[in-house]
Amino acid sequence: MTKHWQGLLRFSLIVTLVAAPAIAIAQTSAQSEVTFTKDVAPLLQRSCQSCHREGEMAPMSLTTYQEVRPWARAIKNKVVNREMPPWHIDKTIGIQKFKNDTSLSNEEIAMVAAWVDNGAPRGNPSDMPPPATFPERGAWGIGEPDMIVEYPAYLVPAEGPDLFGNIYTDLVDYKTGQALGGDRYIKGMETRPADEPSRRVVHHALTFAVDPNEKEMREAGDEEIPAAQFLIEYASGKAGEVYPDNSGLLLEPWRKMRLDYHLHSVGEDVQARVQVGMVFHPEGHIPEHLRWSKQLGQHVNDLDFPPGEIVRTDGYTYFHKAARITAFQPHMHALGSYQCLELIYPTNGTPAKTDMVTCAHWDYNWHMVYNYEDDVAPIIPAGTVAHVISYFDNTEGNRGNPDASNWTGGGGRTIDEMSFVWLGWYDMTDEEYEKELAERRAIQEAAANANNNQ
């Protein structure tokens, strides 16, 4: 175990010990007050019921007291351990403001724990909030798409090795058969398996807009194939992506669509079907910035995880232009446990300055995109280096580890490992960067002066 990892564990333990008394105090004061109808139901509506309701992917519905009460103890355990709701950002490090944050605060966790410890009382029925409204089952997380492309089905046999390959299809809406009428800028995008059997066999899927003759050129061994345009990645637990209002991704009507798939068998034959939904900016609208999403700080083929060890990897990516980072998504496999994004700024002859922007615990079942709030999204000057720090736990203490007695290396299979981060960003001019940096500093100084005058 490295000294860095040991220090991180000690730091986490200190945070836990410091936080525990606060939670205990909150539990004591709230013990006789917390009820389901007044306190717990609103939390479930906000952070749980989008998945925990009839017909959705979670294993039980949590919309009524009768449904929740048998699961009270399990709910407490999941909430106190921050396993549910799924939000894995380390709350002790870096930026904490995200557009899609569904996590519970320490106070809310203490309230749920106190409710359970006091017998999970129902409370006054008149305190129960009206039922929450959610999109219909199967609705798209990005809203109703302007275009849905569905790839041809691919048979995944009941048994066999992992499957890798490409599927091509035309850039047409699968319901209407209509082709894209002209250049459009994507403002939101989502990939999803078309049904539950498909969901179980799709490890990941990458969508590209490509030259219409790419398939034939590949088959002919052509070495000068025009570059493909990456659109979006899908992996287990990942929702769609909605870009900042002033950004978008250009989609040209002459292209075809390509799906790079990784599928695995689950004990029964499955016709895997994958769909991609897109919401466009208004026709003719050209956003200020092109939004990018790429794998950065990548390690795959050089990974080396001996049995029984915890290993750290470090990856680096140089930004040639100033940029605003809009989204952070860790990526590892079963041995992954923790990943951080550090920014190393250009020195210009001065001592190096770094920021540990975001750290997240890792759960392979939830490939989550963390979208920064606009006022805290990192803005970086040209010459900044993105430093991706990843920890892999090949010990028996890692519950997701299939076999701690085996060596594991990098590769594309489910049982192999990867180490990189998906970053979403858009480029800025140096003038745009300096202007926004000055505006942020002015806001920070104003806030500091206001605090000093109180």
Whether residue 327 sits in one domain with residue 445: yes
Domain assignment of residue 373, yes or no = yes
Do 390 and 353 touch, CB atoms closer than 8 A? no
For residue 81, pLDDT beyond 60: yes
Give percent of the chain with pLDDT exceeding 70.
93
User: What local confidence, expressed as pLDDT, does residue 400 receive?
Assistant: 86
Answer whether residue 138 is part of any domain. no
The answer on 449 and 330 residing in a single domain is: yes
Percentage of the chain with pLDDT > 90?
A: 70
**In the predicted model, what is the mean pLDDT of residues 258-275?**
94
Query: Quick one: which of 114, 130, 129, 131 has its CA closest to 35?
Result: 114
pLDDT value for 305: 94
For residue 86, is it within any domain? yes
Same domain membership, residue 427 and residue 303: yes
The pLDDT value recorded for residue 133 is 87
pLDDT at 350 over 90: no
My answer on whether 355 and 453 are in the same domain is yes
Q: What is the CATH number of the domain that holds 294?
A: 2.60.120.230
pLDDT exceeds cutoff 70 at 11:
no
Distances (CA, A) of 152 to 170, 191, 271, 283, 409: 10, 14, 9, 28, 33
C-alpha span between 317 and 298 (Å, rounded):
9
Whole-number Cα distances in Å, 131 to 41, 45, 94, 138: 9, 8, 35, 19
Going 26 to 27 to 31 to 35, the CA torsion angle's sign is: positive
Range(s) of the domain holding residue 44? 3-127
Q: Is 134 domain-assigned?
A: no
CA distances 261 to 116, 174, 202, 256, 321, Å, are 44, 19, 8, 16, 32
Residue 133 lies in a domain: no
**What does the pLDDT average to over 184-188?**
96
- Last residue of a domain, which of 256, 287, 318? 287
Return the top range by mean pLDDT from 24-33, 54-63, 131-140, 333-342. 333-342
Point out the domain boundary residue: 259, 287, 315: 287
Is 137 inside a domain boundary?
Answer: no
Task: Answer yes or no: do 396 and 272 share one domain.
Answer: no
216-243 per-position pLDDT tens digit: 999 999 989 999 999 999 988 888 899 9
In a domain, 132, yes or no: no
CA pair distance 363, 88, nearest whole angstrom? 8
Same domain (yes/no): 311, 276: no
Q: What is the mean pLDDT of residues 85-98?
A: 94
> Is the pLDDT reported for residue 36 higher than 50?
yes
Q: Give yes or no: residues 414 and 342 share one domain.
A: yes
Please indicate, yes or no, whether residues 68 and 204 belong to a single structural domain of this protein. Answer: no
Total of domains in the chain: 3
Question: Domain check: are 211 and 111 in the same one?
Answer: no
pTM of the predicted structure, to 2 decimals = 0.83
- pLDDT over 80 (residue 14): no
pLDDT band at 336 (very low <50, low <70, confident <90, very high): very high
Whether 71 and 57 map to the same domain: the answer is yes
- Is 411 a residue whose pLDDT tops 50? yes
Asked whether residue 22 carries a pLDDT value surpassing 80, the answer given is no
pLDDT, position 4: 39
Residue 355 CB coordination number (10 Å): 15
